Amino acid sequence: MSDQLLASDAAPKNPRESWLDAGWARGVFVDLKKPNGILNTLPERLVKRVQQSQSAYLIPLLYDCALVDECFDSEPWAPVMICWNINNPLGNFMNGKNPRTYHFELVLDGENQWFEATALGLWFVCRKSLLTEQIDSSIKWPEGVLKRVLIWSSSRSTREVFPDDWNQNLSIVHKRLEKIWKSSDYEHISEVLLRIEPNEDGYGAEVILTLPDEAIQKLGARHLFKPGGPAETLELRLKTAMTAAQGVNVKAVKVMPESQLTLTMIRNYQRWHLDYYSFRSYPEGNRPASSTE
């Protein structure tokens, strides 16, 4: 009896608590192949792509506090990513290397399956409507993948730009850079960090290529970093290609685990996307304009 009284006296949960109890958080999954209202709010082109796929999911990218905020006037929209299943992932689209297409794994029923996200699937939806949908809690993120998806999606706005003359100098060797970008040596690289300093002859450059820790565990650190191994081979290939460009003095190229990056490195280097020199190979868009900054 006392338990019943305590239960009846308990204050009702506010909406935020109810949403949290339902599991709402950044990175959860809404199954777009099941009946729901949110699909009808998406653009026709995106809806068509979802309908063509065997499975498709909507994933909120908004940070948790904003996602479950009770004020829809101050926080009306939620950025989302829609992804769909694929059968044949491509190495050039893994680890967020391409700014318009990302191939990544999700865990469904205990098995890893490949999915694709593209620029088409990055959208905003009404947050109030989103929070009325059902979450599919049976799907899980492999370790580290959600973080890379967030970096990939946000980097479309925060992507670094480089001076025109630097881009023009490197464009001379774009075919060599493109071969590196498409090679198996580069397949597991997650980031390329670049530091350039202008000098009287052009630019001095230092490059860091990062490997995810899970890739190192899979391939073996001894194999990757042995003398003449994949890491050293990639360092030499990139340094040789860049050195062939006029006005570029490559001081260092280093492949290293992500876990060894320091805040100082991140502050002193800029993310450099080698895919810049391969945009002409993709039908979904042209090479981006260079910057005069």
Could you tell me the residue range of the domain that residue 260 belongs to?
164-281
Query: Where a domain ends, among 126, 158, 190?
Result: 158
Residue 137 falls inside a structural domain: yes
Residues 30 and 129 in one domain: yes
pLDDT one-digit tens code per residue, 125-168: 999 999 999 999 999 999 989 999 998 999 888 878 888 889 88
Residues 136 and 175 in one domain: no
Residues 126 and 22 in one domain: yes
Residues 146 and 239 in one domain: no
pLDDT of residue 4: 54
**How many folded domains does the chain comprise?**
2
- DSSP characters over the chain: -HHHHHHHHSPPPPHHHHHHHTT--TT--EETTSS-SGGGGS-HHHHHHHHHSS-EEEEE-S-HHHHT-S-TTTS-EEEEEEEEE-SS--GGGBTT-SSSEEEEEEEETTEEEEEEEEEEEEEEEEHHHHTTSPP-TTEEPPTTHHHHHHHHHHHHHH-----HHHHHHHHTTHHHHHHHHTSTTTTT--EEEEEEEEETTEEEEEEEEEE-HHHHHHH-HHHHHSTTSHHHHHHHHHHHHHHTSTTEEEEEEEEEEGGG--HHHHHH-EE--GGGGGGGG-TT-PPPPP---
- Percentage of the chain with pLDDT > 90? 65
Mean of pLDDT values over 245-271:
92
Residues 154 and 187 in one domain: no
Residues 180 and 234 in one domain: yes
pLDDT one-digit tens code per residue, 80-107: 999 999 999 988 788 887 889 999 999 9
pLDDT of residue 276: 54
Mean of pLDDT values over 173-201:
88
Residue 292 falls inside a structural domain: no
Query: Where a domain ends, among 123, 158, 193?
Result: 158
